[in-house]
Amino acid sequence: MSDNNPYSGAFGGNGGQYAQTVQYGGGDRPKVSLGEAPAAADLIKDTTTATFAADVIQESRRQPVLVDFWAPWCGPCKQLTPQLEKAVQAAGGKVKLVKMNIDDHPSIAGQLGIQSIPAVIAFKDGQPVDGFMGAIPESQINQFIQKVGGKGGGAPQIADALAAAAEARTAGDVQTAADIYDAILEQAPETLEAIAGLGEILFDAGDTEGAEAVL
């Protein structure tokens, strides 16, 4: 598979700390879409080799960017990516998430020395600064985002997350809204708007016991 990399060498050869074993390139495995929620369109996107510089390098000069390296055949990737999306939405703009399919675009992962997926690399100021491999627990994902994105501005971040949840509900994506409310309550359990929103969703879904437990 051809993957012309106009940014060859931009990251140096020091990505080995994330390395284990993976084979880059297509094969005949079926493609599986790891879609993103409409409410998170400005926070979550897919990238290619051609757009990586703009989506990650340039954008990380404005705010931290997490890059999720995945492939359609990777089972743990299918577990991690939805959790990443949920955590990024709940962070309300502290970080952005960019997803790269290494089957279609292997060279960037190769430049970074990534040999095992899922792998998540955080970029700041145009450089990779931190990362992890594997489908880690949701609590550790949240801690990683707090570490990379900083802990300041909690109230504005929650407000942004609440707005994203409201947008998802308006668009009819109640699952995404519920996930965002749930993530908000993990970080700020007394957020009344999140409590009410999650309770309403559960009640509308017929889960009266769940709604009562939340409220």
Q: Going by C-beta distance under 8 Å and a sequence separation of 6 or more, which residues neighbour residue 113?
A: 13, 14, 15, 16, 17, 18, 19
* Residue after which a domain boundary falls, among 149, 178, 205: 149
Q: Are residues 62 and 25 in the same domain?
A: yes
Note the pLDDT tens digit of each residue in 30-47.
332 223 333 445 789 999
How high is the pLDDT of residue 36?
Answer: 37
| Residue 152: count of CB within 10 angstroms of its CB | 8
Q: How many domains does the chain have?
A: 2
Note down the domain range covering 206: 154-214
Average pLDDT of the chain, as a whole number: 79
- Which pLDDT score, from 0 to 100, does residue 33 have? 29
Active site residue 176: no
Q: Which of 56, 71, 74, 165 is catalytic?
A: 74
The answer to whether residue 202 is domain-embedded is yes
Is 74 an annotated catalytic residue? Answer: yes
How far is residue 118 CA from its own chain's centroid? 12
pLDDT tens figures, 109-129: 999 899 899 999 999 989 999
Task: Tell which wins on pLDDT, 28 or 149.
Answer: 149
Cα four-point dihedral sign 141, 39, 81, 124: negative
- Let me know whether 139 and 161 are in one domain: no
What pLDDT was estimated at residue 48? 95
Higher-pLDDT residue of 49, 187: 49
- Supply the Cα-derived Rg of the chain in whole angstroms: 18
**Cβ proximity of 34 and 130 under 8 Å:** no
Is 107 found in the same domain as 53? yes
In this predicted model, what pLDDT tens digit does every residue of 72-100 receive, in sequence order? 999 999 999 999 999 998 887 889 999 99
Percent of the chain with pLDDT over 70: 78
Q: Which residue has the higher pLDDT, 52 or 214?
A: 52
Together in a domain, 63 and 111: yes
Q: Which of 67, 77, 119, 168 is catalytic?
A: 77
> Which residues, at least 6 apart from 88, have a Cβ–Cβ distance to it below 8 Å?
40, 43, 44, 66, 95, 96, 97, 145
Q: Judge whether 145 and 157 are in contact, CB under 8 Å.
A: no
Q: How far apart are CA 16 and CA 18, in angstroms?
A: 5
Distances (CA, A) of 60 to 10, 153, 185, 191: 14, 19, 28, 30
Query: In which residue are the tokens 């309300």 written?
Result: 92
Per-residue confidence band for 153, with pLDDT thresholds at 50, 70 and 90: very low
Q: Is the pLDDT of residue 21 over 50?
A: no
